[in-house]
Structure 1
Amino acid sequence: SCIYQFLNLGMSLREIAQALRRSPSTISREIKRNSSKIKGNEESYTKYFPIKANDKYLDRRKDCHRKSKFSKDVIDYLTIKISEHWSPEQISNRSTNVIKQVPSTSTIYRLIHAKKLPKTSMEKLRRKGKFKRPAEKRGKFNDKGRTIKKRPKEIYTRQELGHWEADTVESGRLDHKRKSGYCFVTLAERKSRYYIAILVENRKSENVTPAIINVLKNLPKELVKTITFDRGKRNFQNLRK
């Protein structure tokens, strides 16, 4: 708008450049590139309008970005496959004669995020049979149990056999209906580093407790002195015992 006002005041390009602290060549290019052609009764002429000049600048900026390295055939192929509910993993890992080279899985995701694929978004992707693991509802801890800080010192020094630590490890791969929740109960003897893993149907205490008892009951008493459990709610029954 300053250039427009200065031109209406009859200032020269050099005077405008000096007022705006720009070089005369910069002012000259701005006026030449962004002036609008006006058709008069006898002849046409050009005039600089700030709003139209800004519109022309924005139009040119649209073509200034780096061109995609993927051809239209690749973009069309990816768009069609996603519309057919193919996952990016399936598209990337499936060979085809339609295009020369299929982009990698991560590249396909980037194209979707960058909105380079027409009418395609993350919401349109299929879930590929996966489910979101629901947040675990935490129960109350057994406050009557002894804390780990109150364990005998000989347990910390690992100088005595018979002190165990127990926990459960649940697999990240459950069936899509979540009917199966198989997990491992782990037992580690602190001094010897002897490790036991027991497969149980789920990590509920009614399954975990009998599994631990069944494994340790055959060991000599001097090898089973203490068992330290994680204080999660699944071990609530364990802590009481």
Structure 2
Amino acid sequence: MSNRQIANKIGVVPQTIHNEIKRGDLKQVKLFNGKTRYFTDYNAEFAQNKYQMNRLNCHRKEKFPKARAFLPFFVHLFKTKGYSPDATVAKCHSLFAPEEMVSTTTLYKIIDDQRLEVRNIDLEMKMKRCITKKRPEKNRKVLGKSIEERQASVTFREEFGLLIQKMQLP
């Protein structure tokens, strides 16, 4: 069967079938009558393993290992001088190279994951901030008529609105 026929039977795009066959092509060598022959054959297990390996490598690399010098420096400034994560990142641009530092957002994520000695409870503003959850309003005030309740003449747009009818043009 062709890729298009397989794709129609399964209900996917033909390019998906092409990609899967390309991913699962396994190059093999066999001996026929004392001669080596090279050929490719599709192997589903090989394709699945290749897919899983590609998925492991497709994400952005974590910056935590590269920031090994900056993170202890942040903990020291936080404990001794009371610097916030924002202030530390802002003041350390001249001390560390950009690839050795992390952004403020990343630093807060590292603190949230409890990878440092600093915890969320140590951050004053994070503990003071009250996060409110949005709740759906049960009894909302109805503002005017619903669009489904309008007159049939409005749908056809054969006459002008009330405002223009009151203003008589000369």
TM range (shorter): 0.3 to 0.5
Question: Normalising by structure 1, what TM-score?
Answer: 0.34
- Name the structure with the higher strand share: 1
Q: Which structure has the higher relative contact order (CA within 8 Å, separation 6+)? A: 1
Bigger fraction of residues in helix? 2
